[in-house]
A and B are shown apart, each in its own frame.
Chain A
Amino acid sequence: MSEQVLPLAAGRRAAFSWRRLFEREDVFSWTLMALPLIFLVVVLGYPFVYGIWLSLQDRPVAKAGTFVGLANFARDLDDPVFWRVAFNTFFYTGVATLLKMVGGFGLALVMNQTFPMKNLVRALMLLPFIVPTVLSTIAFMWILDPSFSVFNRVLISTGLVEPPGPSWLGNPTLAMASVIVINTWRGLPFYGITLLAGLQTIPPELYEAATIDGATAPQRFWHVTLPLMMPVVYIVTLFSVIFTFSDFQLIYVLTHGGPANATHLFATYAFDIAMGAGQFGLGASIALFILPALALLLIALARYMRSN
């Protein structure tokens, strides 16, 4: 405090007008935002323009490109694998986000109660989120192996299935289900902890008032908790969708898009085309298809956030 006041006293007239200026909402805002905005523009602006430029070229790795306009995008639309990948990505994102949202709310409501050893439990619950994805995914190579999987052993012992039992990664449908569950496993703690933080900001008086008015627990959740939590829910969902939509590591390590493209996503397919095939232009065009879908979502959310 004191070091801020001193220069003010020294140059009173000038400092006074500076201060007045700085108190204006727009000046204050832009001053504060300038540094991070410049950072983002410099470090992300160039790569972004470069990415778009790539997508308009036939550009082999380590060779000069030729401008081809929108030909890469046309080629994508004509590629059956691309459509499979698009479907996979939407399905994967939709189901995983829904599971994380419902599960995350459940987890937050449970953790918001008091019980013994809560600290320990909370630390343990965070683990899936903390373990580096590339390493936790490697554990799933064993957990989902039919000969070692607990699920298979249980199923076989009940006599419901013949050994070796379901193939979690070999069957296209089960493979998709498996990667969705793993993604949920990884993302759930973050949802839970963020929503818990939101729950904590709700004043208890509101619940008390609602209870006096005779509201049941589900009613309290629906009419008190949920509306107040909406801003947080929206933002967590926004980022969950973005990160799930562009998920890479999990798929790349576990299935690499197999069996027969059943789990390929935009990010993994784009990476394979750009890296494996050395087709930067085509790879960029696939990756850029992520843009319109997410852009719509973002616009809707940005509207919502500002309107509140």
Chain B
Amino acid sequence: MIVEGRGFVRKAMRLWVPLALFMIFTLFPFYWMVITSLKPNAELYSRKVSPLIVYHPTLKHFVDLLSETNFLLWTWNTMLVAVISTAISLIFGVMLAYPLARMKFAGGGLIAFTIAATYLVPQPLLFIPMADLINRMQLGDTLTAVILTYPTMLVPFCAWLLLGYFKTVPIELEDAARIDGATRFQTMYRIFLPLCTPGFISAGIFAFTLSQNEFLYALIFLTSTDVRTVPVGAISELIRGDVFYWGQLMAAALLGSIPVAVIYSFFVEHYVAGLTSGSVKA
């Protein structure tokens, strides 16, 4: 009895209490977005009732968002841009990180530093010369413009994050493959990369999120309403002067992010399962 009771307290201290605290911290603002998106305007501004409860829920803001703006089109654009720029960034990231993690060659340290140093170029200044480049390539107002520019901020990140993961993977398997006569490329592609799924997933999640969140390049390069992404579309059409369409803004935030959360969760699940089945330690 005593042992069991102590076990419960320990479990509570190690799991339930911190989990609850994390959940509250993480989800409270989200709860606020949900209720804001469901409140009629009169209730939103009312100080007489508790702001935490929705008394007369309405789907008006969602309906307005979907009927009066191009929200679905923005979502499609955002996903397309995010998927492609993430894919490009991961591929480039591997091409940079694998040699840096596994090969010995002159200049490796310098390259690693240079890649990270690209972040030293201050972004608030990048956009004018970048706009100039895009303009010369005749890509203004096309999704290609942002698909090309997002990797500039994602590739260095992916390369470095993958570099960190690559270093934690034991080298013995690759040595064995080399002895069996595999080429370097085969070793990397067939033996090594499948072991690094967790790294790909966390780098991919990060890259994807950064692309769908990006505001400045999207604002400048995507100017007509049917090529816009969610953040730029929502801000341009739902913030009008000092008048904010609060309910619709929050509806846009929710509709844009919940599906992504579900997909992410699936990916995370996938790599956790793959790892615990013991494939890494084989």
Residues 266-281 of chain A: 1 if any B CB is under 8 Å from the residue's CB, otherwise 0?
Answer: 1100110010000010
Q: Is the CB of A113 within 8 A of B15?
A: yes
Q: Does A11 contact B (CB under 8 A)?
A: no
Q: How far is the CB of B225 from chain A (nearest CB, A)?
A: 17
CA distance A131 to B86 in the complex (A): 17
Q: Is the CB of A51 within 8 A of B157?
A: no
Total A residues in contact with B, Cβ cutoff 8 Å: 102
Q: How far is the CB of A68 from chain B (nearest CB, A)?
A: 17
Q: Is the CB of B250 within 8 A of A234?
A: no
Q: Is the CB of A25 within 8 A of B26?
A: no
Residues 97-141 of chain A: 1 if any B CB is under 8 Å from the residue's CB, otherwise 0?
Answer: 000000100110010010100011111111111111111101110
Listed stretches A169-177, A186-194, A256-264; interface member: A186-194
Q: Does B29 contact A (CB under 8 A)?
A: yes
With both beta carbons as reference points, the residue of chain A lying nearest to B16 in the complex is identified as A115
On chain B, the residues within 8 Å of A212 by CB distance are none
Give the contact-size bracket for chain B: 35 or more
Q: How far is the CB of B147 from chain A (nearest CB, A)?
A: 12
Q: Does A185 contact B (CB under 8 A)?
A: yes
Q: Does B120 contact A (CB under 8 A)?
A: yes
Q: A139-B253, A298-B116, A302-B109 are in contact. Are A228 and B125 (CB under 8 A)?
A: no
* Among B26, B115, B152, B269, contact of A124 (Cβ-Cβ < 8 Å): B26
Q: Is the CB of B124 within 8 A of A287?
A: yes
Q: A138-B249, A231-B168 are in contact. Are A28 and B212 (CB under 8 A)?
A: no
Q: How far is the CB of B58 from chain A (nearest CB, A)?
A: 18
Residues 121-161 of chain B: 1 if any A CB is under 8 Å from the residue's CB, otherwise 0?
Answer: 11111101110010000000000000011011001110111
**Residues of A59-104 whose CB lies within 8 A of B:** 103
Chain A residues packing against B (C-beta within 8 Å): 19, 22-23, 25-26, 28-30, 32-33, 35-37, 39-40, 43-44, 46-48, 50-51, 54, 103, 106-107, 110, 113, 115, 119-136, 138-140, 142-143, 147-148, 150, 185, 188-190, 193-194, 196-198, 200-201, 203, 205, 228, 231-232, 234-236, 238-239, 242, 246, 248-249, 266-267, 270-271, 274, 280, 283-284, 287-288, 290-291, 294-295, 298-299, 301-303, 305-306, 308
Chain B residues packing against A (C-beta within 8 Å): 14-15, 18-19, 22-23, 25-30, 32-33, 36, 47, 51-52, 92-93, 95-96, 98-100, 103-106, 108-109, 111-113, 115-126, 128-130, 133, 148-149, 151-152, 155-157, 159-161, 163-165, 167-169, 183-185, 198-199, 201-202, 205-206, 209, 212-213, 215-216, 230-231, 234-235, 244, 246, 249-250, 252-254, 256-258, 260-262, 264-265, 268-269, 271-272, 275-276, 280-281
